[in-house]
Chain A
């Protein structure tokens, strides 16, 4: 009798939990106490780390310090270039009248537990609802995308990893923009691309980045590298296997991505505002580095943007006369102008910064007016 009551109760609970959000508060209250057990089971490792760092020998620490310094130097070197590229990317996007590059904010979270069920790939992190985490939020590690938040608790949350069998993520090949969907296989070292045509241009070693098409993950983060492409004439599609770039089963520190919730218009306005401020300050240190490209490259793009008749001649004139001829066909097909405008811009030939300074200003102010009009 008691069994019957309890069984019926459990089934009712399961149905309610699966269909409605009624039980969410109950669950989050219970987790407040129970999730401590993950923290407790994680304690020995924490202690061990503490002890290890306490008793690490001097030479080891010096060596590590040395290594970190060189790494820091390298990263900062890369950052300098990145700042320039970001700046330029934003400007190009504004010229193309497309939505501005989203500047995501990240926050560091720490792994506190793995899901005990070996058939699911989920982890538990030490940031929860009270820290501003939201459902479906993307999670990264230092090397690439890891997964998304699937369950929120007050101070912890559960993250579904990319390699779980129930997870798929829209990706694109970084080399040529080919879109595909990468599904988890239940193996922490493997993703599979489903329904990729046999003739598709994809090969071993290609980097797959998130395409942002699912509206869930931000675009442009590395997801996986292609390990093997098998063409089997008996199969309708090519079999493409990839290895996640993130260390899914090794990373301890993760990054939570907070993408901004502004509408595209607000974003454009904000970007324009920021640009104006920057211009008011006399360009800032980044501008000279980006300047060289506008001469050769941006001019056709500016002309291609159909909405800026006033700004186009200004930019085209000081740029170079030769650009005028390729600009004409580009103006006819604004869409076709996109790839050539962005691809050569990717490699920055940082020469002759002094000559070009005046040319840089017009493309900057042009989007500002555009943004204001919208």
Chain B
């Protein structure tokens, strides 16, 4: 019974990822481009915490490849970063679940900040050097968005009984 409902509502997870992908390429005003949150990473972090048996590093890697094609970066660059983020979230999973929301946000900030630094390093290797500090801004915005994303998706999960 439980298995049946789960397989019925799996598509919701994928739908959120699809929406996340749309959001990550949606046009923004020039000054907000720098602040674009890491939508896919946020969604991955939530689902990895909520459904670690379903959404894991392989999912992250596949989504990362898709993002690479979308962004026109080297195949594997975003895949590597999303895999790293998911790995860190999964390894902190037990603790993260216990934390109050603001503390979760802080941890997310640190994890995403690290990921952005790896991103900077990788893009420097491929020849596109970027202003260093501005690159951490998306991590900050994502951390600020985390509580809302988290509440929203939790509601969605309850409603559709995704487990």
Contacts and interface: CB of A to CB of B under 8 A. Distances in A.
Interface residues of B, number: 37
Interface in B2-20: none
Identify the interface centre among B72, B87, B130: most chain A CB within 10 Å of its CB.
Answer: B72
B150 interface: no
A40 B22 contact: yes
State the majority secondary structure of interface residues on B.
Answer: helix
Interface in A130-153: 151
Interface string B42-61: 00000000000000111001
Identify the interface centre among A3, A35, A120: most chain B CB within 10 Å of its CB.
Answer: A3
A364 to B, nearest CB: 49
A119 B130 contact: yes
B87 A3 contact: yes
B21 interface: yes
A204 interface: no
B46 to A, nearest CB: 20
A10 B61 CA distance: 8
B132 to A, nearest CB: 11
Given A17-B75, A41-B25, A30 B69 contact: yes
Interface in A27-46: 27, 30-31, 34-35, 37-38, 40-42, 45
Interface string B124-137: 00111111000000
A14 B76 contact: yes
A14 B56 CA distance: 21
Contacts of A27: 69, 75
Given A34-B70, A37-B22, A23 B75 contact: yes
A114 B27 CA distance: 7
B31 to A, nearest CB: 9
Contact of A18 (B24, B64, B71, B126): B126
Contact of B25 (A12, A37, A166): A37
Contacts of B25: 37-38, 41, 113, 116
B126 A30 contact: no
A6 B57 contact: yes
B21 A17 contact: no
A38 B67 CA distance: 12
Interface of A: 2-3, 6-7, 9-14, 16-18, 23, 26-27, 30-31, 34-35, 37-38, 40-42, 45, 113-120, 122, 151, 158, 165-166, 188, 249
Interface of B: 21-22, 24-27, 30, 33-34, 36, 56-58, 61, 64-66, 69-72, 74-77, 79-80, 83-84, 87, 122, 126-131
Given A26-B75, A27-B69, A165-B129, 12 more contacts: A6-B80, A7-B83, A9-B76, A16-B75, A17-B74, A23-B75, A37-B22, A41-B26, A116-B70, A116-B71, A119-B131, A158-B72
Top 7 closest pairs, chain A to chain B, by CB: A13-B76, A118-B33, A10-B80, A10-B76, A14-B76, A41-B26, A119-B130
